[in-house]
Amino acid sequence: MTHSPLSRRMMMRGALAAAGAASAAPALAQRDRKVALPDDPAGMVATLTDAVYINSNEHPDGPAPAALAALANLPKLSGRYGMAFAAKLESLFARQNGLSPDMVQVHPGSFMPLRSVALTYSSPERPIAYFEPTFDQGFLGAGNASITRSVAVPLSGDFTTDPRKLLAAAPDAGLYYLCNPNNPTGLTTPRADIEWLLANKPKGSILLMDEAYIHFSDAQSCLDLVAKDADLLVTRTFSKIYGLAGLRCGLIAGRKDLLDGMARYGVNITPMPAVVAAEASLLDPTLLPKRKTENKAVRDDLATWCKAQGLRTLPSEASFMMIHVGRPGAAVTAALAKDGVIIGGPRKHMDDWVRVSMGTPAEMQAFKTALLKALA
């Protein structure tokens, strides 16, 4: 069972605390400790840019130009729910991906769909099985205990995923989870391995694919398997390559009966501006290839630089990279925080690694400078 104490934001909070910078902490999902923030909106917003934040895999450019143009018309209408808009976004996504609209469900981000799937399709008798480290926060509750029951399998020495090991460790699971590319490693699971798991998993179980970072990679999406009525659910988010993290928009795709099975947990209204921005983003055919190319250039440059410094990296295909620093990653993370560079830090079973998100070239240069100082 996994009891990982770290989340995407918790690593940053710990680093800031260790650096003695609590009073300057950014207004970013501060859940477990009080943070001194000014009592004025402009002051709060300023804390989002008072350091280099390459810790949460947010896109450095934010919303695309088409999304910004759509959002520019909304300030006076933001008091409206726009309840019908989500269905329109579901239809557009379905049409673009060869699905029927009833196979797509829009949510305020992808976290709650992940949790709803776990609650629906896993139980103390039929657990959820996944590799670790991964993004498992949707499956954890109070005290980071599993919300049902979890079987967590440590990644192998090269940090790759092997579904055969997952099935062997949990032959009775109700839910198997793969993040592809995986967060935090950035490594992908081959399509053949995914299809093997689908073909060999126990009857009645479900495979959940988290494709939050799929567009940064060359991995094949599993949405075509959804169209073939597989025992499969796929989550997507607009928080990463689309740059809409603060607006909160995501979705889940699967057979209608699988989506209907989650009905007891409901579907909250997705913020209307988020849906409008998401639709504008989907309608821009140049956005994904442009941002994928830009991200790869920054990622490749960082990998080359790390190699020159004698630092091992994992061959990530996502918008972040794990770097082996050869000493406690939490200490390195805290040292960088003192210099105003906030990174993701280590993960379970990777204590002497750190995770860094891809930022702008200027942000990455600041990271390189701060990292060399921390490792000196």
Q: Are 169 and 136 part of one and the same domain?
A: yes
Same domain, 16 and 94: no
Task: Specify whether 81 is located in the same domain as 176.
Answer: yes
Q: Which of 282, 308, 334 is the last residue of a domain?
A: 282
Q: Which residues pair with 53 in a beta bridge?
A: 342
User: Does 15 score more than 70 pLDDT?
Assistant: no
The answer to whether residue 365 sits within a structural domain is: yes
Residue 225 half-sphere exposure, CB side, CA atoms within 13 Å? 20
CB–CB of 345/330 below 8 Å?
yes
Confidence band for 47, pLDDT divided at 50, 70 and 90: confident
Give phi and psi for 287, each to the nearest 5: -65, -55
Give strand pairing partners of 345.
Answer: 355
Q: Are residues 79 and 141 in the same domain?
A: yes
Q: Pick 38 or 185 by higher pLDDT.
A: 185
Nearest residue to 183 (alpha-carbon basis) of 11, 336, 307: 11
Is a pLDDT exceeding 50 seen at residue 30? no
If one counts the domains in the chain, the total is: 2
**105 and 180 both lie in a single domain:** yes
Do residues 192 and 207 share a domain? yes
Answer yes or no: do 79 and 132 share one domain.
Answer: yes
Residue 157 resides in a domain: yes
Residues 129 and 253 in one domain: yes
**pLDDT computed for residue 6 by the predictor:** 32
> CA 85 to CA 41: how far, in whole Å?
28
What pLDDT score was predicted for residue 35? 56
Last residue in a domain, options 262, 282, 302: 282
How many angstroms separate the CA atoms of 83 and 70, rounded?
Answer: 17
In a domain, 3, yes or no: no
d(CA 317, CA 339): 28
Tell me, what CATH number does 180's domain have?
3.40.640.10
- CB–CB of 118/139 below 8 Å? yes
Task: Say whether both 215 and 229 belong to one domain.
Answer: yes
**pTM of the shown model:** 0.90
Q: What is the mean pLDDT of residues 143-172?
A: 96
> If you search the block for the tokens 């699905």, which residue do you land on?
99
Domain annotation covers residue 203: yes
In a domain, residue 33? The reply is yes
User: Quick check: is 5 in a domain?
Assistant: no
Is 190 buried (19+), middle (13-18) or exposed (0-12) by CB count in 10 A? middle
What φ, ψ does residue 286 adopt, rounded to 5°? -95, -15
Please check whether residue 198 is in contact with residue 207, taking contact to mean a CB–CB distance below 8 angstroms. Answer: yes
> Is 4 within a domain?
no
CATH number at residue 42: 3.90.1150.10
In this prediction, residue 37 carries a pLDDT of 81
Same domain for 53 and 83:
no
- Looking at residue 13, its pLDDT comes to 34
Non-local (6+) Cβ contacts of 253 within 8 A are 93, 94, 97, 99, 103, 104, 105, 223, 226, 233, 234, 235, 236
Q: Is it the case that residue 115 has pLDDT exceeding 90?
A: yes
Q: Which of 232, 261, 282 is the last residue of a domain?
A: 282
Predicted confidence (pLDDT) at residue 18 exceeds the cutoff of 50: no
pLDDT at 177 over 60: yes
- Asked, for residue 302, whether it belongs to a domain, the answer is yes
245 and 301 co-located in one domain: no
Residue identified by tokens 């949510």 is: 107
Q: Do 59 and 69 fall into the same domain?
A: no
Q: Which domain holds residue 69?
A: 65-282
> Which helix (H) or strand (E) segment is 17 a member of?
helix 10-18
Whether 238 shows a pLDDT value over 70: the answer reads yes
